[in-house]
Amino acid sequence: MDKDNRPECVLTISNVVCTFSTGCPIDLRHLAMNGMNVIYKKEMGLVSMKLREPNVTATVWSTGLVACAGCFNEEEALAGAKKVARCLWRLGFQVKMCKFKITNVFGACSLPFRIDARAFSGAHPKNASYEPELSPGIDFRIDELKACLKIFTTGKLTITAPSVEKVQREVEIIHHVSLPFQQVERDERKLDDVFCQKGDG
C-alpha cells in the first residue's frame, strides 16, 4: 500500500470465524457435564466452549456443527478447530473433523486521508449506500469478493470477507477508488488567524 510514496495502510485482522462438522451427533448434556470451560445454553440448543491456547470460543450444536471464533489468522483458526475436535474426541464422541471452512474474516484499517462520503457514494451507486441520518458510514459491497465494508469520512474502514486474502484485496480496491474523493482538511490555525484579523479590524 506504499506505492508512489503514499502513506501505508496498516490492516489489522480482529477476528477469523470458521466452521467444521464432527461427522457425528453431539450429546450437549454430556458435553456440558464433562467438558471444561463450557456453558450449556439449553434454550438456544448449543454449548459454548472456551479454549485458552489458541484463544478460541467454540459454539457446538447437537447436529455436530461447530463454529470457532476469536483467532487472528487462518492458520490459528485451523489449529483451534483441530483442538476443539480433539477435546470432543476425548469426551467419547466419534469425531471425524470434516467440511472445515473459513466463513468470515473481520478486519480494520485507516486510509491516510479523509473521504468525501457524498461524492464517493454518488460516484458508485451500484456498490455504495450512504444514509447519514441512519449511519455515519458508507456501506460498500464488492459482490465478486463476497465482501462488504463500512467506510467512514475519517478514512477508517471496517471490512468483512470470507478470507484474509479477500480482505486484503478489498482494502487495495477501496484505497484505489477512493483516491479521487479525498477530502481536504481545513487548517484550523489559519481559520483562527482569519477570524482574529477580522476581529481586529
Banded model confidence at residue 149, pLDDT cuts 50, 70, 90: very high
* Displacement of CA 9 from its chain's centroid (Å): 16
* Sign of the dihedral defined by the CA atoms of residues 87, 88, 92, 95, in that order: negative
Exposure letters 50-76 (e unless 16+ CB within 10 A, then b):
ebeebebbbbbbeebebbbbbbbebeb
Confidence (pTM) = 0.79
Return the number of other C-beta atoms located less than 10 Å from residue 114's C-beta.
17
CA 37/CA 39 separation, integer angstroms? 7
Mean pLDDT, the chain, whole residue set: 88
Q: Is the pLDDT of residue 3 over 80?
A: no
Q: What mean pLDDT do residues 79-100 have?
A: 95
Stronger pLDDT, 193 or 56, i.e. the higher one: 56
pLDDT digits (tens, 9 = 90+) for 68-80: 999 999 999 999 9
Percent of the chain scoring above 90 in pLDDT: 75
Stronger pLDDT, 132 or 62, i.e. the higher one: 62
